[in-house]
Amino acid sequence: QTQLLGVLLAAASNFLISVSLNIQKCAHCRLVCQAEQKPYYRSKLWWCGITLLGLGEVGNFTAYGFAPIALVAPLGCVSVIGSAFISVFFLKKTMRTADILGGTLTITGIFLLVTFAPNGPQELTAQQVQNYLVSWPFLVYSILEIIIFCILLYFYKRKAVKHIVVLLMMVALLASLNVIAVKAVSSMIALSVKGKMQLTYSVFYIMIVLMATSCAFQIKFLNQAMHLYEATAVVPINFVFFTTSATISGVIFYQEFQSAALLSVFMFLFGCLLSFLGVIIIARNKKVEHLQIPFIDCGHIPGQKLTGKIQPDSHISCYGTLNKEDDSVKRQS
């Protein structure tokens, strides 16, 4: 029952996030169409979207306290398919065959994820978290993750490599630490509310610092990727990387698949694969349409000969001025 509550919370929260994003987009579109322009933060519709986004994030945070990481993280695909279908009503977009196919694959994957998810202990005490932090599997995993992150950061800073895979791999590595900290903090708060005080342990505040720090740098690199690349490329790659890294961190840190049968592990991975395919199919070919003619045809404008060469080449002596023959033609006219 506790795990089912976590599943419902995660699914509902991600659906709220998809609704909030569409509401914010709708608010921006309405503001652009208005004769009198005003800041977006003065729009009631935009604030409605922000409120739903906050509720969705709080629900996701709470879900980690009731369900395994390996189950909550893949349910982020609910926001992708929810956004694809909700945009038909909010933004008047047309429903594509790819959306229906991708949604079907994603829903099938979610069913397999929920059915074959691991059943690990969800009430984590501060003492258990401390033991997990000093376990040798997590120490080895942390060292490998730090080495890979430093290599990627070197190419990002020193070599100015801004490839989408480099950026989103750094986001995923930070996300793996973030979900570990989020689950620990959420579980300790839930136990404290039930009467088993966990907030007096130092590990609780260590996890809060880890959660805040990793989240801040995660947002930084994700925003960089969104600035350089199309959302249609960032969304599916980020979802695949995030889900993979979060699942691996849950397996290593919280040992979520320790007692799972081989068939359950296989079906769970198959459900993840179906979700990945569904998200990729939904997100692809959604690029913004550009005009086919990037310039205005000046063929029929009177006086075209006068503007035959508006800007001379930079290597000639009269760079930035009109040619003499252009001046003579102008005087004759």
Residue 286 lies inside a defined structural domain of this protein:
no
Q: Token pair for residue 9?
A: 């919370």
Number of separate domains in the chain:
1
**Domain hosting residue 175, numbered range:** 121-255
Half-sphere exposure of 9 (CA within 13 A, CB side): 22
Q: Give yes or no for a contact between 7 and 71, defined as CB atoms under 8 angstroms apart.
A: yes
Residue 217 lies inside a defined structural domain of this protein:
yes
Residue 296 lies inside a defined structural domain of this protein:
no
Which residues have a Cβ under 8 Å from the Cβ of 103 and sit 6 or more positions away? 81, 84, 85, 278, 282
Residue 56 lies inside a defined structural domain of this protein:
no
Strand blocks (E) in the chain: none
Question: What's the pTM value of the predicted model, to 2 decimals?
Answer: 0.76
- CA-nearest of 171, 150, 179 to 252 is 179
Report d(CA 67, CA 69) in Å as an integer: 7
Residue 272 lies inside a defined structural domain of this protein:
no
Residue 211 lies inside a defined structural domain of this protein:
yes
Residue 171 lies inside a defined structural domain of this protein:
yes
Q: Give yes or no for a contact between 63 and 6, defined as CB atoms under 8 angstroms apart.
A: yes
User: Could you read off the pLDDT tens digit of each residue along the chain, which spans 333 residues?
Assistant: 677 888 888 889 988 888 887 787 777 777 777 767 777 777 788 788 888 888 988 888 888 888 888 889 898 888 888 877 777 776 677 788 888 899 899 999 999 988 898 776 567 889 999 999 999 999 999 999 999 999 999 999 888 888 999 999 999 999 999 999 999 999 999 899 888 899 999 999 999 999 999 999 998 898 888 788 877 788 888 899 999 999 999 899 988 888 788 999 999 999 999 999 999 998 876 654 343 333 344 444 444 444 444 444 444 444 444 444 444 444 454
Residue 327 lies inside a defined structural domain of this protein:
no
